[in-house]
Amino acid sequence: MPADLWPDPNALGPVTDLYQLTMMAGYSASGMADKPAVFELFVRRLPKNRSYLVFAGLEQALTDLLRLGFSDEQVDYVRGLPAFGHVPDSWFNQLRTFKFTGDVWAMREGTIFFGGETVLRVEAPLAQAQLAETFLLASLAYPTLVASKALRCVQAAGGRSLFDFGARRGHGPHAGFLCARASYLAGFDGTSHVEAARRLGIPAIGTMAHAWVQAFPTEREAFTAYARTFPDSTTLLVDTYDTLEGVRHAAAIPETHAIRLDSGDLATLARQARSILDDAGRPDVKIVASGDLDEWKIRDLLAGNAPIDAFGVGTELITSRDAPALSMVYKLVAIDGQGKIKLAPGKKTYPGAKQVWRRLSAAGHFAGDHVTGATETSHGTPLLQKFIHQGELTGQLPDLQSIRAFVQSQSHALPGEFKNLDSAQTYPISYSDALEEEAARLGLTAG
């Protein structure tokens, strides 16, 4: 029988690195499994070309964290691993009934954040908090990458529509779901991914591929047949043979709502297409562009006044070739109330549970973030909220539309220089005296 590598969402416990399980067993053997621990999740440095990130994936991560568990079959497997030969039965029995019972603080989904800021904090018995690491990183980093790329596209598109066309270029079929959601929450207008659109309740977009045009004897027949079946949403792909000839064919079809350009010099073709359409008395027909687009290409097309009404973004959205991986980390910052810090050259970090306070200028723009200990107070808005208390959600999670609105309000509050696509900016972040003193006291801030 072929291996089926679709995970079971109700048995995600072992969707993790083995060392999380060895450490859990070891903590248990050492009487430390239930010590109160604090781990924080953050991105140490932003990727090249990024002046900010958009926190995304929280809803799925929290949902899955609360159901993280192990099937009997999975526990038996771990028990059978040679390394676990000396681990007592009692630990495997605990694994069978594993449930996350800790607290989770996090930035609201859709928050714009910066390098070095805690975006999520787990306060839980050590063994539980440890298990969550791989899972949280794998669940949060990717949607954050996509949402961040998507907001850059939205900022570049200056109000034109944007559609997620990434499904086929994802890292496996599941990535398409994550990309559709993350791009929509960052301001995209819809996705070509049918099942994602259905599950999320967002617009599904799409009309035809080149194969449609090729399947008919002529382009004209292909267009006519399409318009007959979909008279209310006829978008015609015009570049299968000769693009401008394709535009003329599309202009002659009364049902045509839009044409799509998918190759060639999009700026020139869009201008030529616009002329042909206008001359044919079809100023109503919109122009959609696609084909290896990213935020820079969108900006350049619009800077050159290309008459494009909507953009489809695929590969560069779903895999962000300029920043395909995010070095998000999850670090132990306290255990038993004692601050902890890993000593590593060039990686200054602060011990203990933290809060991030965002300050606004008089004009309502982000004016700098201030990081304090979690129990300190400061001015500005505290960005980390408690989402899970003792293993239960503290309330309903924000819905996708409200996350989307929140991202747009944040985008407006982000100072203009952080939207510049040509040079990455560093956002001002300061640390409280108490944090500086505690770090100095631990003698670990050198470097």
Binding to its own copies, residues 256-315 (CB under 8 A): 263-264, 315
Residue showing tokens 């043979």? 241
SS3 of residue 314 by DSSP: coil
Count of residues touching its own copies (by CB under 8 A):
121
Measured from the CB of residue 399, what is the shortest distance to its own copies in angstroms? 9
Residue 32 in the binding site for its own copies (CB under 8 A): yes
Residue 2 in the binding site for its own copies (CB under 8 A): yes
Residue 327 in the binding site for its own copies (CB under 8 A): yes
Largest CA distance in the chain: 81
Looking at 148-156, 174-182, 380-388, 423-431, which segment touches its own copies (CB under 8 A)?
Answer: 174-182
64, 137 contact by CB (below 8 A) = no
Residue 423 in the binding site for its own copies (CB under 8 A): no
Euclidean distance between CA atoms 267 and 308, whole angstroms: 8
Q: Considering beta carbons, is residue 225 or 440 the nearer one to its own copies?
A: 225
CB atoms < 10 A from the CB of 17, how many? 15
Measured from the CB of residue 440, what is the shortest distance to its own copies in angstroms? 18
Phi first, then psi: what are they for 186, rounded to 5°? -90, 0
Residue 212 in the binding site for its own copies (CB under 8 A): yes
Residue 14 in the binding site for its own copies (CB under 8 A): yes
Measured from the CB of residue 228, what is the shortest distance to its own copies in angstroms? 7
Residue 440 in the binding site for its own copies (CB under 8 A): no
Which residues neighbour 317 within 8 Å (Cβ) at sequence distance 6 or greater? Answer: 146, 149, 150, 153, 164, 165, 166, 179, 183, 294
Q: Considering beta carbons, is residue 45 or 199 the nearer one to its own copies?
A: 199
Subset of residues 141 to 160 that bind its own copies, contact rule: CB under 8 A: 141-143
DSSP single-letter state for residue 396:
P
- From 90, 99, 215, 279, residue interacting with its own copies (rule: CB under 8 A): 215
Residue 89 in the binding site for its own copies (CB under 8 A): no
Residue 171 in the binding site for its own copies (CB under 8 A): yes
Looking at 115-123, 169-177, 273-281, 358-366, which segment touches its own copies (CB under 8 A)?
Answer: 169-177
Residue in 102, 171, 111, 110 with CA at minimum distance from that of residue 132 = 102
Which residues neighbour 155 within 8 Å (Cβ) at sequence distance 6 or greater? Answer: 295, 411, 419
Residue 414 tokens read as 């982000």
Euclidean distance between CA atoms 293 and 311, whole angstroms: 8
CB atoms < 10 A from the CB of 304, how many? 12
Phi first, then psi: what are they for 215, rounded to 5°? -70, -15
Q: Considering beta carbons, is residue 302 or 444 the nearer one to its own copies?
A: 444
Q: Considering beta carbons, is residue 56 or 414 the nearer one to its own copies?
A: 56
Measured from the CB of residue 304, what is the shortest distance to its own copies in angstroms? 21
- From 72, 93, 158, 199, residue interacting with its own copies (rule: CB under 8 A): 199
Q: Considering beta carbons, is residue 102 or 206 the nearer one to its own copies?
A: 206
Residue 218 in the binding site for its own copies (CB under 8 A): no
- From 89, 159, 232, 443, residue interacting with its own copies (rule: CB under 8 A): 232
Measured from the CB of residue 97, what is the shortest distance to its own copies in angstroms? 18
Euclidean distance between CA atoms 257 and 189, whole angstroms: 17
Residue 135 in the binding site for its own copies (CB under 8 A): yes
Residue 249 in the binding site for its own copies (CB under 8 A): no
Residue 231 in the binding site for its own copies (CB under 8 A): yes
Residue 170 in the binding site for its own copies (CB under 8 A): yes
Euclidean distance between CA atoms 295 and 302, whole angstroms: 11
Phi first, then psi: what are they for 259, rounded to 5°? -115, 155
CB atoms < 10 A from the CB of 175, how many? 18
Measured from the CB of residue 20, what is the shortest distance to its own copies in angstroms? 8
Residue 378 in the binding site for its own copies (CB under 8 A): no
- From 46, 65, 78, 120, residue interacting with its own copies (rule: CB under 8 A): 78
62, 133 contact by CB (below 8 A) = no
Residue 35 in the binding site for its own copies (CB under 8 A): yes
Phi first, then psi: what are they for 88, rounded to 5°? -70, 155
Residue 27 in the binding site for its own copies (CB under 8 A): yes
Residue 441 in the binding site for its own copies (CB under 8 A): no
Looking at 6-14, 112-120, 369-377, 425-433, which segment touches its own copies (CB under 8 A)?
Answer: 6-14
SS3 of residue 118 by DSSP: coil
Q: Considering beta carbons, is residue 97 or 396 the nearer one to its own copies?
A: 396
Q: What is the CA radius of gyration of the chain?
A: 25
Scanning 206-337, the segments in alpha helix (DSSP H) are 210-215, 219-229, 243-251, 266-279, 295-303, 315-318
